[in-house]
Amino acid sequence: MIALLADANIEGHVIRLAARMQREPFIGFWNDLRISLATFADVELVPHDPDALVWKRCQERGLCLITGSQ
């Protein structure tokens, strides 16, 4: 299973993208990959936590962090 965590500054974008992926014609792809979304609250973080803590939590829980950083 792939678990995604959106960084606080792009959470809304990722939620909208995930909602789109859970409809036709992408739903089969989404289901085959067994993707799930986690929120900051799910992993006991708050939006203003330092990047290092967010990254550490993702490493601890096997989450793929999606950021808007370049």
Q: Are 27 and 34 in contact, with CB atoms under 8 Å apart?
A: no
**How far apart are alpha carbons 57 and 40 in whole angstroms?**
10
pLDDT tens digits, residue range 30-43? 999 999 999 999 99
Q: How confident is the model at residue 70 (pLDDT cuts 50, 70, 90)?
A: confident
- As given in the structure block, the two tokens for residue 43 are 């992993």
Is residue 1 scored above 90 in pLDDT?
A: no
> Can you give the length of the chain in residues?
70
pLDDT for 49 = 97
pTM of whole model > 0.95?
no
Dump pLDDT digits (tens) for 48-64.
Answer: 999 999 999 999 999 99
pLDDT band at 3 (very low <50, low <70, confident <90, very high): very high
